[in-house]
Each structure stands twice: as structure tokens, then as C-alpha cells.
Structure 1
Amino acid sequence: MTTAASTATGAAAGATSTGEVQKLRRTASAGGADHSAGRSPASTILVTGILVLVAIYFLVPVYWVIVAATKTTDDLFATNGFWFADTFALFSNLQQVLTYDNGIFVRWFANSLLYAGVGAVLATYFAAAGGYALSAYRFRGSNLVFGTILGGVLVPGTATALPLFLLFSQLGLANTYWAVLIPSLVSPYGLFLCRIYADASVSPSLLEAARLDGASELRIFHSVGLRVLTPALVTVFLFQLVGIWNNYFLPLVMLSDQRLYPITLGLVNWRSQTDRLPEFYQLTTAGVLLSVIPLAIAMIVLQRFWRGGLTEGSVK
């Protein structure tokens, strides 16, 4: 009887083990770990619904811009704003935008690429260098320096525009490219983000191993620090790129030459003339469509770099 009971128990355990193995196999074949534990269908539906509403909130203005850019001025006011008109005028509108006033829009577009591209790259590099230094090197007063820089996050850009204009006027840099480019090189929030990310990701053992290999501190920063900080750098770069590209108040204060305008200031200048010349509605809507293309491209290209754990397993 004891033998029979043992046999039955062993068979039951084997069946249970076989069932667990089959369950694990089904989970693996389904694409990985089972993430549905503790998640009710109601919560899934609620979260999905909220995400859909948020997506609609952000995509509807983009859709409106695309539709509006295909219309003439008359159709823009005479037809449904969220549907196309009978006359598809997108290509003619774009041609007018690119050729109006000897191609001034192309000049504005190039200026924005200069301000946003160079400014975002250098601001990201300086933020990475400062955040890495404050994380990797401990010295007396480092927290005070970090707190002072962090205080810059609380100061809005509009509050510093006028003092910067007075300073740049005394230096003879007002109404030049430098008047917009130099203030764009500073990113207190970017430095804060790089410092926090470096504290969590840059291992002191990894830096010490590089020093033992004879690498200089500058080479360690470029070869190790920048690679580890890649996700944070992409975030800082995109924030700076969007912020500089959409910046309006600083160029408005600093610049008086229309040839130095960024694309935002130029479009507002066109928009201000619509009351006198209604055809500027077509130029403005088509220009807005062209202005969002670089940001969309940057977001699509750079999103693949948002990956964590780049140095997982580098230090045993």
C-alpha cells in the first residue's frame, strides 16, 4: 500500500511538473515573460483608453496642419477644417513658400537648422561634460555648484532675454547669429539630467579599470562616459533641439535683421500680414507644415537610442 501511495504521489508530481513546463513553453512561445499577472481587463482597457485620448490630443493639431496646407485661402475658411477641399493646392502652396521674397523662407529654415542643430549638439556635450564631472569627481563645494546650476532650471528664458540683450548690445553681438546661438549652449536641465543618470549608470569600478589601463581622464570621458550616457544625451539633445527650434521670444528681442530670423519668427511675421494680405494664410499654413518635418525626423531617427542597460555586465 505504501508503494502504491508513493507511486501515485510521484505520478501527481510528475504531472504537475509537466504542466508547469508546458505552461512555461507556452509563455516563451508567446513572446517572453508573462506580464499579465495582477492586471485586470478593466485596468487594461482604462489605460489604453487614456493613451488613445492623449495620442488624439497631440495628433489632431498635426492633422489639421496637414489638411490646411492643402487648401487655398478661400477654401481654408469655406470648407470643413478637418477635411480636404476639392482643390488640392499643397504643391502650389509649397512652391509659393519656397519662392516668396527671393526664397526668404529657405533662409529662415537654414537659420533654424544652424541655431537648433549647432546649439543642441554643443549644449548636449557641455551638459554631459558637466554632469559627468559632478558625478565622477567629488570635491568640496560640488553640491553647492550643482545646486546653483539646478537653480537655473527655475529661471524662465523670458526673464533673462532682456538682460542678455543689454549684455550682447554692449559686446556688439546683438542682431548677429551669436546673439541667438550663445544662449542656446546652456542647458541647466540637461546638466541635471546627465548628473543624475551618471550617478546611476557610470560605475566607479569601470572608471578605475580604465585608469588602470592607462587612459587619460579626457579619453575616459569620451570613450566610456559618453557611451554610458547615450540615453540621457539623446533626451537632452531632443529637448534642446525642440526648445531652440520653437524659441520665439529670444530671437524677437535679439534680432532686427529679417535675414537672421529663425523659422518661428518668420512665420509669425507672415501671420501678422494676413489682415492686409489674405494670401499669407496659404504661406503660413504651408510654412508651418514644413517647419515640423525636421522635428518629426529627429524624433523617429533618435528614438532607437533610448535604451537602458548599455553597460550591463561590463563590471563583474
Structure 2
Amino acid sequence: MKKTNSQTVLLAGATGYLGGYIARALSQDQMAAKLIARSPQKLKLLESKTVKIIKAEVTKPETLEGICEGVTTVISTIGITRQKDGLTYMDVDYQANLNLLNEAKRAGVKKFIYVSAINGNTYRHLKIFEAKEKFVDALKSSGLDFTVIRPNGFFSDMQDFLDMARKGKVYLFGHGEQKFNPIHGEDLAIVCLQSINTHNKEIIVGGPDVLTLNEIGEMALDALQKPKKIIHLPDWIRRFVIWVLRTFTSSKTYGPVEFFLTLMAEDNIAPRFGEKRLHDFFRENS
């Protein structure tokens, strides 16, 4: 990564999957950076002459006061998939990011980079996307230079396939020929840092390999040296599961399931980027 000496980056979400890779890249490139975290000790090893670790909670705006002073670019990977601490998607994916955006505006930050997900505008009816896209709207109307990164799923999301494979069978809805290309966090971190030099843009990005769900299931089983047992369930069961969960449970329960089952039902192919392969990820985590 080419170092940009004139930039000072503030990263929110540095203890998460993607944020961790961005934080390490900032440190390795010796870019001036501030990493904010609720538990700063988790990032202690990254502290250096160029990287400062600051205790703050994006859900508590009073802890963000002055945090963007001297910052040129904010990168936020803030978001929740599986809710905890009683917080909702609106509390975190929308309001916490809005708190950070407001502080960035007050401090005169030039650019704000936000990581959402592919086809977010199409899926606004999903609880996760409702909050994410409400923040995207606020960001676009903020007056700041922005980039919205829309990855086509993380490798970490594919852990569910490994979890099924450990039990000897992978269950898929429909024919299993739906295609998509998830991306490794390390490759996506490169995209995020490169986007510092883009202007008012949305970047849709995926990994190097376009795969069917059947192929991903086979990869997971192969990584665990299990026989190739893939069970195809009728698609009406998928739709019924979503309906039942939406009707009888809270968004805390159905949000991540609704997200996963909806996006897995059709092709989602993004422009390819990176060098990390899913089969290697499965082997490393098997």
C-alpha cells in the first residue's frame, strides 16, 4: 500500500473482523491513524509513533467529543450482525455512525468512508439494511466527501458452512446454484484504504472467485475431509422460516437469519478483487 503522508485516518470498528485488517494495514503502512475502541487494550499491540489508541464508544456521543481533531478521513466499519447488549440495528448501524459523522463534520473532516453491504438499497426492507441505508442517506447529504463500500459478503460469514460441515451435512435451500463471490477481510481492507483517494462514490466489490452455494458447501466438507453430503431443501421452507421468525420473534433474533436467507436466495456477483481464496480460509479454520 502506498503511504499517504498528508492523511490522518480515524478508524471506528477496529476490533471487528474487517476493522482489524484495516487497523493492521494502517500500522504496517505507518499512516497517521487514530483507532477508537470501547476496550483499548484489545488494540494495544498496534500502538506506535503513528497509531494512537483512544477509548470511546460510538453509541455514546459524549465520548466522541474532540476525537476527530486533526483527522482528514474517517473510516467506519461499525455495524452489528448478531445483536447484543440490548442494542438495536438503529442504535448501532444508524445512530452510532451518525454520532461519528456529526463529530466529523464539527471537526472539519474532509472524507467519510462507510462499509455497508452489496445491494443495500434493494434490500431496505430487511432490518439490517434499513438501518445501514438510513445512515448512507445521511452520509450522502452531509456535505462531506464520501465513499460507501459494498462488499459481497465476508469470508467470516462463510463460517456457517464450516459449522454445518462439521456435523457431516450442508443444508441449502433450492438448487444451490446461486452464485456470489465473498471477499477476505485482508483484501477488503486494501479496497477501503485505496478509497481514501476516491470522491463521492459507491464501490461494489467481491473476492476473486465466483462460486455457487453447492461449490462452497463442497469446499467446506472437503476442508474437514468429510463425504460430500449436501441436502437441498425446497425454497418454500426458506420463505416460511423467514415469515415465522419475523412474525413470532424480535429483530434481535430474526435480523441475521433474514439477512442471510434472503441474500443466499439469488445471484449476487460483484466486481472481483483480491488474492485470498475461500478454500484456503476453510482449511485454515477447519
TM range (shorter): under 0.3
Q: TM-score, normalized by length of structure 2? A: 0.24
More strand by share: 2
> Comparing both chains, which one has the higher relative contact order based on Cα–Cα distances under 8 Å and sequence gaps of 6 or more?
1
More helix by share: 1
Largest Rg, 1 or 2: 1
Q: TM-score, normalized by length of structure 1? A: 0.22
